[in-house]
């Protein structure tokens, strides 16, 4: 989803090849022989892998479109920091809810996710500078990094009967999530992901 959203932001025409769950095509295995997983972007007959790297590559190669990464080096470093936090800490804690054994372990995992969302609520306030997105006026790197997990978040909420992203605890993130999902660069990607 990250690469597709970035390509949509840049208004780049691309061919999307969907992999069948549970099997790996020869093209995927040849294009990503190290991890043997998606996503892979093939540009100029050269494969590139890993979603965050793809977003940065797309931003650099198609520089004429709207910028995805902040132009300020400090803001860019902060966006990368929080994207790494989301991938390495927050999302694994959310996955831990599904793997939890028993009520107490599940409760502890949910609390860990909530604490992470509170940190992201605070990060949103600082990164957005009072605007609609982490990337300020438009969707940026950190929006894409976090926004691609909103579908997973909704599934976890539904399956566990909890509300993790809500108007009371995370009011800014709740508004942000609605705007992110409604954006033209995101809407079709998220809808296709749900079907």
Q: Where are the domains of the chain?
A: 2-61, 73-194
In the chain, pLDDT over 90 holds for what percent of residues?
A: 90
pLDDT, tens digit, 9 for 90 and up, residues 36-87: 899 999 999 999 999 999 999 999 999 988 999 999 999 999 999 999 999 9
- Axis-axis angle for helices 171-182, 184-194 (nearest 10): 90
pTM: 0.93
Which strand (E) or helix (H) includes residue 95? helix 91-99
Q: Under a CB-based contact definition with an 8 Å cutoff, are residues 79 and 141 in contact?
A: yes
Whose tokens are 């372990």? That residue is: 105
Tell me how many degrees the CA angle 181-86-80 measures, rounded to the nearest 5: 95
In the chain, pLDDT over 70 holds for what percent of residues?
A: 97
pLDDT, tens digit, 9 for 90 and up, residues 161-189: 999 999 999 999 999 999 999 999 999 89
State how far the Cα of 186 lies from the Cα of 107, in Å rounded to an integer.
32
Beta strand ranges found along 36-192 (DSSP E)? 40-43, 46-49
Q: Which CATH class is domain 73-194?
A: mainly alpha
2-61: in CATH 3.40.50.10470: no
What is the number of residues in the chain? Answer: 195
């Amino acid at each position: 989803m990250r690469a597709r959203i970035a390509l949509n932001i840049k208004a780049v025409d691309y061919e999307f090849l969907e992999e069948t769950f549970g099997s790996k095509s020869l093209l995927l295995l040849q294009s990503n022989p190290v991890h043997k997983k998606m996503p892979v972007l093939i540009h100029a007959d050269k494969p590139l892998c890993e979603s965050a790297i793809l977003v940065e590559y797309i931003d650099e190669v198609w520089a004429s479109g709207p910028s995805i990464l902040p132009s300020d080096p400090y803001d860019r470093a902060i966006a990368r920091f929080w994207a790494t936090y989301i991938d390495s800490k927050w999302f694994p804690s959310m996955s831990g809810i599904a793997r939890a054994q028993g009520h107490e372990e599940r409760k502890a995992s949910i609390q860990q996710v909530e604490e992470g969302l509170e940190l992201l609520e605070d990060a949103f306030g600082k990164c957005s500078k009072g605007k609609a997105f982490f990337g300020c006026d438009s969707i940026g790197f950190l929006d894409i990094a976090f926004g691609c997990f909103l579908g997973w978040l909704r599934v976890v909420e539904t399956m566990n009967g909890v509300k993790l992203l809500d108007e009371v605890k995370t009011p800014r993130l709740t508004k942000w999530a609605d705007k992110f999902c409604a954006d033209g660069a995101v809407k079709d990607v998220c809808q296709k992901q749900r079907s």
